[in-house]
Amino acid sequence: MSRSGLSYLLWPASLAYASYMFVRRRLLSGKGYKSTCKVISVGNLSMGGSGKTPVSIALALALKERGMKVLYSSRGYKSAIEEGATLISDGTLERISPKAGDEAIEAARALLGIPVICGRDRQRTLHFAENLEIDTVILDDAFQHLKVQRDIDILVFDSETGLGNGFIIPAGYLRENLSAIDKDCIIIFHHKPMNEPNLKLKLKLQERTDAFFEVHSTNDSIIHKGEEIDPVSLQDKRITLLCGIADPRSFKRGAQALGISWQNEMLFADHQDFSSDEIRDQIRARDADYLLCTAKDAVKLLPEFEDKLLILQLRTYLPESLLNFILYKLS
């Protein structure tokens, strides 16, 4: 990602913000609440788009398969219950709260048998987990949340976008400098569908940690009304691509890899709220047989557009070497 004139103009402000984050981390690291549960934080240094939520979901499922009692915690960004900590799912589809944010609901739908909590109060989340006799809590998007101690810190980097233009916000989209990474952090180099990996970034990240792993995600199916359909059946259909995610490029590439073509695009900002009458009128006005979207966006378009929704299913595969290393660290 190139640096614009505006990014250089905002660079002094980013230096001030970077200094604040550096001092904050130095003062607070290791001093937060210590839970009796094992705590895994999955976060990133960027403002979004690294794929930390798919990685978090895959990790929660993998640990459950290995017999662990897992609880999943989502910040619930821009949701009605972002403040505090609310149990939005007891692990069954019947008990998912509609007030939770898109990522929290997406996680709850995928994590059958795993309780899900929404809210930025991570200490209260850990109290919930302790009362439920959970062994392991996965905190999605918690690297900058230093009020609780964690046993493992995982940082996820998109293998193509990586550090963006390398500047801290507001001049760039990094939350902190690479100096925030210590040798105990696990770094995941995340390959989204058809990414073009930045090998220079890969080498830079490998120098920062003793635990570097590569993880791949693929778009391998299309879901319509809960059932997988053959992409070939869509060849003569009028399709509008619709999404509100940080980086729609991998979403588009994944659809193209399955042979899906579309006539129109409706691209919105990350975490777009589709509840307004204006946006819904725009969607209804599209002359389309189907709306192609992500699972994250689908939760906000149901049930009104259910008959038209095509969900591009993203699957994230964690290597055994990573899972074995995490289990070793937890023990």
* CATH code, domain carrying 209: 3.40.50.300
Q: Could you give the number of structural domains in the chain?
A: 2
C-alpha Rg value of the chain to the nearest Å: 20
One domain for residues 57 and 188: yes
The residue range of the domain holding 208 is 5-217+316-330
Could you tell me the pTM of the whole model? 0.88
- CA-CA distance, 48 to 92, in Å (whole number)? 28
pLDDT at 300: 84
One domain for residues 43 and 136: yes
One domain for residues 191 and 72: yes
Q: Is the peptide bond before 303 cis (omega within 30 degrees of 0)?
A: yes
Q: What is the pLDDT of residues 298-322, one digit of tens each?
A: 888 888 899 999 999 889 999 999 9
One domain for residues 184 and 299: no
Instruction: Report the candidate in 75, 318, 324 with the shortest Cα–Cα distance to residue 189.
Output: 318
One domain for residues 155 and 291: no
One domain for residues 208 and 124: yes
Place of tokens 């991570």: 122
One domain for residues 53 and 12: yes
Instruction: Report the candidate in 79, 100, 97, 78 with the shortest Cα–Cα distance to residue 89.
Output: 97
One domain for residues 90 and 211: yes
One domain for residues 75 and 115: yes
One domain for residues 158 and 79: yes
Q: Please list, in sequence order, all residues whose beta carbon lies within 8 angstroms of the beta carbon of residue 323, skipping any fewer than 6 positions away.
A: 59, 62, 66
User: Residue 271 sits in a domain of what CATH number?
Assistant: 3.40.50
For residue 276, the one-letter residue type is: S
Consecutive H or E run containing 146: none
Q: What backbone torsions phi and psi does residue 166 show, to the nearest 5 degrees?
A: 85, -5
What stretches of the chain adopt beta strand conformation (E)? 38-43, 70-74, 86-89, 116-118, 136-140, 152-158, 186-191, 211-224, 227-229, 239-243, 264-267, 290-294, 309-317
| Whether residue 95 has pLDDT greater than 70 | no
One domain for residues 77 and 164: yes
| Whether residue 94 has pLDDT greater than 70 | no
One domain for residues 212 and 234: no
Evaluated on CA atoms 209, 40, 48, 9, the torsion sign reads negative
Q: What is the pLDDT of residues 226-259, one digit of tens each?
A: 899 999 999 999 999 999 888 888 889 889 989 9
Q: What is the pLDDT of residues 71-81, one digit of tens each?
A: 999 987 766 67
138 band by pLDDT with thresholds 50, 70 and 90: very high
